[in-house]
Amino acid sequence: MRRLLKQSTGPLTSELLREPGRFGLGQVPAGMVPDAVTTSICGFCSTGCRLKLHLKEGAAVSLTPDAHYPVNLGMACPKGWESLAVLDASDRVMVPLLREADGSLKEIGWESAIPTMVERFKNIQSRYGKESVAFISTGQITCEEMAFLGALAKFGMGMKHGDGNTRQCMATAVTAYKQSFGFDAPPFTYADFEESDVLVFVGANPAIAHPILWQRVLSNQRTPEIIVIDPRKTETAQSATRHISVKPKGDLWLLYALAHCIVRDGRVDENFLKEHTHGFDDFAAFLEDYAPGLVAERTGLGTEEIEILANLVSDPSKRVSWWWTMGVNQSHEGTRTAQAIINLCLMTGNIGKPGTGANSITGQCNAMGSRLFSNTTSLIAGHDFTNPVHRAKVAELLELDVSLIPTENSWAYDEILSGIERGDIKGLWIIATNPNHSWIDRERFTRLCGNLDFLVVQDMYHSTETAGLADLLLPAAGWGEKDGTFINSERRIGVIRQVRRPPGQALSDFRIFRLLANAWGCDGLFRSWTSPEAVFNIIARLTRGQPCDISGITGYDQLDTNGGIQWPFPAGSFLAIRERRLFEDGRFFTPDQRAKFIFDRPSERLPEPVSDSFPFLLLTGRGSSSQWHTQTRTSKSAILRKLSPGELLLEIHPQDASALGIASHAKVRISSQRGSIVAIAFPTATVQRGQVFLPMHDPEVNRLTHGSFDPDSRQPSYKASAVAIEKL
Ligand SMILES: Nc1nc2c(c(=O)[nH]1)N[C@H]1C(S)=C(S)[C@@H](COP(=O)(O)OP(=O)(O)OC[C@H]3O[C@@H](n4cnc5c(=O)[nH]c(N)nc54)[C@H](O)[C@@H]3O)O[C@H]1N2
Ligand SMILES: Nc1nc2c(c(=O)[nH]1)N[C@H]1C(S)=C(S)[C@@H](COP(=O)(O)OP(=O)(O)OC[C@H]3O[C@@H](n4cnc5c(=O)[nH]c(N)nc54)[C@H](O)[C@@H]3O)O[C@H]1N2
Ligand code: SF4
Ligand SMILES: [Mo]
């Protein structure tokens, strides 16, 4: 493979194959100052820090965090600092590669890669029907790219099914917000971290996963109470004022018990409930069964601890904000758990004011962009595939025949995989995600890919676990090698800039989509989709009249000079303040403008409870602030490698370790019903007895996880699988 890659970069034959960006051809265009500074939003997490890139002869040579950006105020975490280092890796894909009959990969060049992909997918569609080809998208490409991908796949290539890695991550928050507020609308602005008196983090470890947001929390001058609800005593819990070590998946019981106490003690905000919500009376009646004493077994918490917490979060003299991430979203009843948080905010009137909110923090740099523009779960720009008025509006604005827009929702990720299992899906296109590492119960994923007739993977690196399965591998440019926009956790849209030439023949995803549209014969639909900024203007127009209306944004320059702009920003808006939250007027996006109380009885048992054979509950999550997901990028930086553990460590309670005769740093085998893997034991009292923790960054970890899903959001429950531990 390496030998092949070294020979790459034959001459490019067509205009279309040129990366047209400022630095695409390695030249500094006339009029451009060669040694200058430009800015770009970081391409790792959803915090959305802005970096200043220092250019020499038109290409970035170093970077520093931007002191004037309202998000990071001059800070960056190690990943941000190392953003450029990960581009220069020896395993970048330099040229399209096609798998031969003997399993080897052959260099083919774009001139045959694109026609091959088109021919194979069209053959599959003519044999098995249009819906037999599907795509898996991502929260890590730009808004413009994901809009192009979704529109090309569904309106151009006739696909019906497409989902993304945001299903692994944000589907629960999306569903919870849509059902409760009428639109997927995280209400907060980062200033709320500093303006809150009581901050409650549920299943979130920002000290590791969102380090710069955590710095914002630490700069709160109101001597806040910081409460962390997490089975583990994480780095975040250790620096909080209070740690609630709930039993895994005991959150729903706990949140209902808190609501019970608040109702019982008459600490609800009657006025807010009356004016801005509905369904509270039914909820209050439902809560009768959730007295703290009745949930002790489920939550692992004492009555007094719950009563104190209930008082803290309903103190009318305090601004209370709730923040949740994967400990909530990745659960078999995550949607109701997120809504239990929303309910607490509604009943105490903690929404729409400084320092409050039911706030889901997103994960990937552009997860929010994916939620609005990927054309997967929602029709582009937050519309609904099943709504004829929405379809007509999108068709008119995009000047396409309305019959090209699917009238039904796509299958969710796990349903697409079941479709592959049944033989309904025969062709799959995976863009900027590495599911053969990150998908739950990954063995099944690997096996199912064997059922496909043709698998296309579009990635920066050829060494990823998913690239290893590809029939066709398309070389993608990464962050730093293309232009576009990302939307961060507080709905702030910011610009990324091309500051490096992509290696070899690698092209931006945007460019690849253009090539495909052309070869598929549907480029007529995309005549005006000529550059990222042109597409930005198109998708901004599509948002008109939606809660996420950004039709007032005039272009990238405006975003750059204003320090990013949060949605909404309808035409005619002007920017008076840089930090804006939603629902300040108490009006939600439901038809009657009231937020809904939604609740259900928690399930009695975990999808996979521990047993005599598998007596430990395995939690998984982020390991360190220097490791990103499947590590295709972060493992390429010598500095980030030094900052991470370097081996797979199993966190286990010291008493459990000694009961099993396991010494610190001994080799252990961890087994579940699906497989077994080897790790190094790291006894630590940060995990509770009977629980163990593994970071998700090692490709072996998802061999263990149990494939269970939230019924509303179809998000995988990565954080509760039964395992056995044995000394080796
Ligand atoms: N360094 C780094 N930063 C990242 C990422 C990365 O890979 N590396 N990924 C980004 C992405 S995409 C995401 S989605 C975010 C994720 O950010 P987080 O959600 O903060 O990270 P996790 O470690 O997955 O999960 C958070 C916590 O949930 C806890 N937890 C497990 N089960 C339960 C439970 O039943 N109840 C409660 N209350 N808590 C539970 C875990 O112990 C863990 O500490 O991070 C983003 N930031
Ligand atoms: N056990 C367990 N598993 C988990 C989780 C957990 O907590 N526990 N968390 C889940 C969550 S929240 C998430 S978000 C997922 C993340 O899972 P993935 O999305 O699979 O992880 P990444 O490593 O971010 O994969 C991104 C891929 O895109 C490539 N890439 C980067 N930039 C570009 C680009 O611009 N263009 C193209 N074409 N490719 C690019 C990278 O090289 C990489 O291969 O993992 C999930 N899996
Ligand atoms: S906190 Fe997130 S956005 Fe900021 S530098 Fe680190 S990875 Fe990048
Ligand atoms: Mo995520």
Concatenating the DSSP letter of every residue in 284-342 gives HHHGGGG-GGGSHHHH---HHHHHHHHHHHT-TTS-EEEEE-HHHHSSTTHHHHHHHHH
Given a contact cutoff of 8 angstroms between Cβ atoms, the answer to whether 163 and 377 are in contact is: yes
Q: Answer whether 625 contacts ligand 1 (Cβ < 6 A).
A: yes
Ligand 3 pocket check for 65: Cβ under 6 Å: no
Q: Is 234 in the pocket of ligand 1 (CB under 6 A)?
A: yes
User: Where would I find the beta strands (DSSP E) of 518-615?
Assistant: 565-566, 595-596
Rounded to the nearest whole angstrom, what is the distance from the C-alpha of residue 528 to the centroid of ligand 3? 33
Is 630 close to ligand 2, i.e. is its CB under 6 Å away? yes
* pLDDT > 90 fraction of the chain, expressed in percent and rounded: 94
The ligand that comes nearest to the alpha carbon of residue 628 is 1
Query: Does residue 79 line the site of ligand 3, with CB under 6 A?
Result: yes
If you measure from the C-alpha of residue 580 to the centroid of ligand 1, how many angstroms do you get, rounded to a whole number?
Answer: 26
Q: How many Å separate Cα 466 from the centre of its chain?
A: 18
Q: Examine the pLDDT at 7 and tell me if it is beyond 90.
A: no
Residue 38 parent element (H or E): strand 37-41
SS3 call for 514 = helix
Helix (H, G, I), strand (E, B) or coil at 476: strand
Residue whose token pair is 């460019």: 511
In whole numbers, what is the pLDDT of the chain averaged over residues? 95
**HSE-up of residue 580 (Cα within 13 Å, Cβ side):** 20
In the chain, list all ranges with CATH 3.40.50.740. 97-162+366-566
Give tens-digit pLDDT for 117-173. Answer: 999 999 999 999 999 999 999 999 999 999 999 999 999 999 999 999 999 999 999
For strands 59-65 and 484-487, give the pairing: unpaired
Are the C-beta atoms of 679 and 670 separated by less than 8 Å? yes
Query: Which pLDDT score is estimated for 34?
Result: 59
Are the C-beta atoms of residues 467 and 461 closer than 8 Å to each other? yes
Range(s) of the chain covered by CATH 3.40.228.10: 187-361
If we measure between CA atoms, which residue out of 605, 711, 599, 712 comes closest to residue 289? 599
**Is residue 31 predicted with pLDDT exceeding 70?**
no
The CATH fold of domain 187-361: Dimethylsulfoxide Reductase; domain 2 (3.40.228)
pLDDT above 90 for 29: no
| Distance (Å, whole) CA 397 – CA 688 | 55
Q: How far apart are CA 690 and CA 518, in angstroms?
A: 57
Predicted pLDDT at 575: 82
Residue 90 has φ and ψ, to the nearest 5°, of -75, -15
Instruction: Indicate if ligand 2 lies below 6 Å from the C-beta of 717.
Output: no
Q: Could you tell me which residues are beta bridge partners of residue 675?
A: 672
How deeply is 132 buried, as exposed, middle or buried, from its count of CB atoms within 10 A (0-12, 13-18, 19+)?
A: buried
* Ligand 2 atom closest to 434 (CA): 20
Q: What confidence tier does 23 reach under pLDDT thresholds 50, 70, 90?
A: very low
Q: In sequence order, what are the residues at sequence separation of 6 or more whose Cβ sits closer than 8 angstroms to the Cβ of residue 430?
A: 135, 136, 455, 456, 457, 458, 466, 470
CA neighbours within 13 Å on the CB side: how many for 191? 13
The bound ligand whose nearest atom lies closest to the alpha carbon of 238 is 1
Residue 27 is predicted with a pLDDT of 46
What is the dotted CATH code of the domain comprising 616-727? 2.40.40.20
**Which residue, judged by its Cα, is nearest atom 4 of ligand 3?**
49
How far does the centroid of ligand 3 lie from the alpha carbon of residue 199, in Å?
Answer: 21
Q: For ligand 2, is residue 705 a contact (CB within 6 Å)?
A: yes
Mean pLDDT, residues 186-190 taken together: 98
**Long-range contacts made by residues 522-525, C-beta under 8 angstroms, separation at least 24?**
522/152, 522/155, 522/156, 522/157, 525/151, 525/155, 525/156, 525/398, 525/400, 525/404
| 642, containing H or E segment | helix 638-643
* Residues 311-331, mean pLDDT to the nearest whole number: 98
Mean pLDDT value across residues 216-241: 98
**Ligand 2 atom nearest residue 431's Cα:** 38
In sequence order, which residues have a C-beta less than 8 Å from that of residue 389 and are 6 or more positions away?
A: none
- What average pLDDT score do residues 486-510 get? 97
Q: Which amino acid is at 130?
A: K
614-623 pLDDT, tens digit each = 999 999 999 9
Q: Is the CB of 420 under 6 A from ligand 3?
A: no
Query: Is residue 197 predicted with pLDDT exceeding 60?
Result: yes
For atom 47 of ligand 2, which residue has the closest CA?
438
Cα(498)–Cα(483) distance, rounded to whole angstroms? Answer: 5
Gap from CA of 325 to ligand 1 centroid (Å): 6
Average of pLDDT values for 108-116?
97
Whether the CB-CB separation of 448 and 421 falls below 8 Å is answered with yes
What is the pLDDT averaged over residues 368-386? Answer: 97
Give me the mean pLDDT over the 287-305 stretch. 97
Kindly state if the Cβ of 49 falls inside 6 Å of ligand 3. Answer: yes
Architecture of domain 97-162+366-566: 3-Layer(aba) Sandwich (3.40)
pLDDT value at position 135?
98
Band of residue 216 on the pLDDT scale cut at 50, 70, 90: very high
Q: Is the pLDDT of residue 18 over 70?
A: no
Of 84, 165, 146, which Cα lies nearest the Cα of 629? 165
Ligand 4 center–CA 81 separation, angstroms: 21
Where on the phi/psi map is residue 716: left (φ > 0), alpha (ψ -120 to 50), or beta? beta
Least confident of 25-29, 40-44, 268-272, 603-607: 25-29
